[in-house]
Structures are given as structure tokens and as C-alpha cells.
Structure 1
Amino acid sequence: MDDVFVGRLMSAPVETVRPHTPLDEAAAQLLEHNIGSVIVVDDRDFLEGILTATDFVRLAADDGVASEATVAEYMSTAVVTASANDPITEVADTMIDNRFHHVPVVDETEGVIGIITTTDLTAYVSGR
């Protein structure tokens, strides 16, 4: 697996939202696409943050949020990223060490170009 790179396994295109997107719209997007996260991007599609299903679980545990709440209020902004040319073993180690399920794949000129998830890794290992 040392010669497998992120670009080969990543999912693309990525479901994205803007920081001003209402939380209920972001939640609907997760459900509609059966995904565990949406990537928060600016107007040029550059990474601003990530909002995950785990973030919504935390919100529910905190008695929910106001209906006018936006993604910007709850997204994570200290996001670990990968490039398409990173070895998958390094990214997998990072995911395990930090208990991440999603790592956005970014390009310096194009912004967010994909996402690598635990599902992508599992599919590769299982041969699918």
C-alpha cells in the first residue's frame, strides 16, 4: 500500500457548503447524499472548515440550536488536509491517530478537490 496515493482513493466531487449556509440545510445535505460530512468552502472553493455528523450529535447533546444558526457557528476550522499525491499510508495513520473519519483533499490552485474517508479506505482494502 506504500505506492497508493490519496488521489486514487479519494471521493470526488465533494459536497460543499458556504459558512453562511443555515445548519438545517447542511443537515439535509448530509441526509440527502448519505454522507458524514460537508466541506465548508469560500467563494473560490478554498477550504474554510468541515462540518460532520459528529458535530450534529454534539449539537443535539447540547439541546439543539436556534433555527437561524449557520454552519460558520459550528464548523471545525482547524482542519487537517491531504494532497492527491500524499501516500495513503500517511493519511491513514493521521486518521487513526486523530480519530478522523474524513480528510479533505486540497490543491494549492484548485482548492478542495476531494475527500478521503474511512469508507474509501475500507472499500480499497476489501477490493471494491
Structure 2
Amino acid sequence: MRVSDVLSSKGSAEVHTISPRATVRELLDVLAEHNIGALVVSDDGTTMLGIVSERDIVRKLRDVERAREATVESIMTTDVQRCRPEDPFGSLMATMTEHRVRHVPVIDDDDRLVGVLSIGDAVKHRMEQLEFERDQLSSYVSGG
């Protein structure tokens, strides 16, 4: 099982991005509009500059006056855990666990952004795997 399998099972290949010059007010609007927990920071929609998440908002804006006017660039994470489509699914889960991240951008060999996988995507995919295995074992045991 590869990261590309999880990406294709999501149903939507759309990757939401935001400019580093956008304000936190704009960031909050986009997160709420799409009901997501993080956005990739990009100038062109394909080159990743960083990622900004709900955690960044909470941790980095706690004591900032006029926090909604701050820029995304001032709170984004630039040391981003990432993966490639050909990476094993298990390594994605290990990265999320080891680095305690909830969103991992998927970058192709040309360093272009091709997707973002959330912890929810990973858990859903793993649950589907387990259900399939359970059904196969049940079928085998029952002789069907």
C-alpha cells in the first residue's frame, strides 16, 4: 500500500493553499469555508513554502495584539514533514506519529505539491484495510 493509494481513495485531488501574505483573518475564513485544519502555504499553488495549521494559530498567536491582521508567513511552519506518492503507507503513519503532525503534504519528484493527507485520511484508510481483511478472514473461515 502506497501514499498514492490513499490519495486516490480520498475522492478529491484538490489541494487548498494560501499565500504567505494573506492575513490570519483570511486564513480563518478559508479553513472554515472548507472545513479543514491546515493549508499549504504557496505563492503559485504547486510549490510549497510551508504549512499553517490550527495548532500554529493557537500556539503562535496567543499573545499577539491584533492577531487577525498578522500574516500567514509570520506563523507558518517551514520545517514541514512531507512524503512522496511512492512512499509506503506505513511510513506516512510513522511520520505522523513520530513528529506529532496531523497533515502531511505529498510532493512529487519535481517538488510539486500533489496532495495533502490528514490524520483523518490515514485513519479512514487503515479502517477500510482492516474491514477488508476481516471480511476476507470471515469468508475464509465460513468456507465462502
Relative to the length of structure 2, the TM-score reads 0.78
Where does 1:110-121 land on structure 2 (aligned, <5 Å)?
111-121=112-122
Contact 1:59 1:65 in 2 (8 A): no
Query: Using the alignment, how far apart are the partners of 1:106 and 1:125 within structure 2?
Result: 21
Q: Which residue of 2 is the match for residue 68 of structure 1? A: 69
Moved more, 110-119 or 71-80: 110-119
| Identity among equivalent pairs (%) | 33
Which blocks of at least 5 consecutive residues in structure 1 are unaligned? none
Residues 104 and 117 in structure 2, CA contact (< 8 A), matched pair in contact too? yes
| Cα distance change, pair 99–67 in 1 and its aligned pair in 2 (3 A) | closer
CA distance in 2, matches of 1:19, 1:127: 36
Deviations 1:29-69 (A, max 9, x none): 11111111000013262010000011112245325544432
Q: Are 2:80 and 1:79 equivalent residues in the alignment?
A: yes
Which ranges of structure 2 fall in alignment gaps of 5 or more residues? 130-144
Summarize the Cα distance change of 1:63–1:71 in structure 2 as closer, same or farther, 3 Å threshold.
Answer: closer
Greater share of residues in helix: 2
- Distance of 1:104 and 1:118 partners within structure 2: 12
Match of 2:33 in 1: 32
Asked whether the 8 Å contact 2:107–2:114 carries over to 1, the reply is: yes
Match of 2:40, SS?
strand
Given the superposition, is the C-alpha separation of residues 16 and 69 from structure 1 closer, same or farther in structure 2, using an over 3 Å criterion? same
Q: Which moved more, 1:107-116 or 1:33-42?
A: 107-116
Letter in 1 for 2:43: D
d(CA) in 1 for partners of 2:67, 2:58: 15
* Matched-pair contact (CA < 8 Å) for 2:24–2:67: no
Higher-strand-fraction structure: 1
| Pairing of 1:8-47 with structure 2 (within 5 A) | 8-10=5-7, 11=10, 12-43=13-44, 45-47=46-48
User: Which structure has the larger Rg over C-alpha atoms?
Assistant: 2
Alignment of 1:7 onto 2:4: yes
Higher RCO (CA 8 Å, separation ≥ 6 residues): 1
Residues 60-110 of structure 1, C-alpha deviations (whole Å, 9 max, x = no match): 532554443211111000111101110010111111011110100011336
Q: How many residues align?
A: 125
TM-score by length of 1: 0.87
